[in-house]
Amino acid sequence: MEKKSLKGYLYLLPALIIILVFTIYPLIKAVLMSFYEGYSIINGSFDAIGLGNYKELFSDKVFRKALTNTSIYVVFVVPCSILLSLLIAVLLNSKIRCKGMFQTLFFLPYVTSVIAIGIVWSWIFNSNYGLLNYVLSWFGIEAVPWLNSPDYALMALIIFSIWKSMAFDILIFLAGLQTISPDLYNAARVDATPKWRVFLKITVPGISPMIAYAFIMGMINAFKVYNEVFSLFKSSAGPANSAITVVYYIYDKFYNSADYGVASAAAVVLFVIILALTMIQRAVSDKKTA
C-alpha cells in the first residue's frame, strides 16, 4: 500500500470508527434482536430464535394503526411541503421588498427547537383559546378539538409538520433557483411567455435535482417522525393513540413496555420500508435525468 493511500485511510479512520460504532453496529444488533424471543437487555439472554417477534408485531392492532398513520402522514406532508416551499421560494427569489427579512422568517423553524415549536403550536391548536379556532370563528366555524379528539389529532400533526418542514425545502430551492441562468427568463419575457409556463418549463426543470433531493429527504424524515408527536401531544401519541407513528411505537415498546424484540422488529420493518422507497425514488429520478 502506498504511503499516500495509507495516509488517506488514517484520516478517514476516526469517521469510520464513529460510523461503525454508532451506525453499523446498532443496525446489526437491532436485526439480531428482532429474532430473539424473550430477549433481556440486562444480561443479553433470550428464550429462542425465530420469527415470533414479527408475528406478534403484525398481529398488533396498535402497530397497524401506527403504520397507517405514518403512511397517511407521509402522503400529505411531503408533497404539500414541497409544493408550498417551491412557490414561496420562487416568490422570495423575485424582486420583493425586505427579501432578507422574509428569508430569515421562513428559515427560523429549521433552527428552532422542535419542543419549543410544539409548545407554541399546542397553544395555536388549543380548543378553548387557540389562535386557529379564533380565526375559524370569523367564518362561523365552531371550535375544533384539534388535540383532544381522535378525529382531528392526526390532521393537527400533519398541519404542524407541513409548516415545520417547509424551512429546509425553501432553503434548498432558493439555492437551486440561483443556478438558473437569467437569460432563460429574459428570453421567455421577450417571447411574452405566460408565467405558469415559465414556471413549468424553466423553473421546475432547472431545480429538478433539488426537488428530487427534497422529496427523498422529506420522505425519510416523515417516516421517522417522533419529536413532533412528542412535543405536540405532551409526551403522548394523541387521544386514544390516534396520532401514533411507527417511531413512537418503537419508543413505547422499547422504553415503556420493555419489549425489546418487538421494538427491534418494528425498527427493521421501518428500515426496509424507507430503504425500498428511497431506492425506487432514486431509480425513477435517475431514469428521468438519463
- The tens digit of pLDDT for each residue in 206-252 reads 888 888 888 888 888 899 999 889 888 887 888 888 999 999 999 99
Range of the domain at 161: 59-289
Asked whether the beta carbons of 260 and 254 are under 8 A apart, the reply is: yes
| 94 inside domain | yes
- The CATH number of the domain holding residue 91 is 1.10.3720.10
Would the pLDDT of 29 be above 70? yes
Q: Check residue 210 and give its pLDDT.
A: 87
Q: How many domains does the chain have?
A: 1
| 97 inside domain | yes
Backbone angles phi, psi at 48, to 5 degrees: -160, 170
pTM of the predicted structure, to 2 decimals: 0.86
| 106 inside domain | yes
Lowest mean pLDDT among 13-22, 37-46, 106-115, 150-159: 106-115
| 42 inside domain | no
Lowest mean pLDDT among 95-109, 130-144, 179-193, 271-285: 95-109
Would the pLDDT of 38 be above 80? yes
Asked whether the beta carbons of 213 and 172 are under 8 A apart, the reply is: yes
Query: CB under 8 Å to 274, separation ≥6 — which residues?
Result: 219, 220, 223, 224
Backbone angles phi, psi at 49, to 5 degrees: -115, 125
| 260 inside domain | yes
Query: What is the grid cell recorded at 8?
Result: 488517506
| 181 inside domain | yes
Q: Check residue 74 and give its pLDDT.
A: 94
In SS3 terms, 55-81 reads as: HHHHCCHHHHHHHHHHHHHHHHHHHHH
Confidence grade of residue 9 (pLDDT, cut at 50, 70, 90): confident
Distances (CA, A) of 264 to 32, 35, 253, 255: 8, 9, 9, 12
| 12 inside domain | no
| 139 inside domain | yes
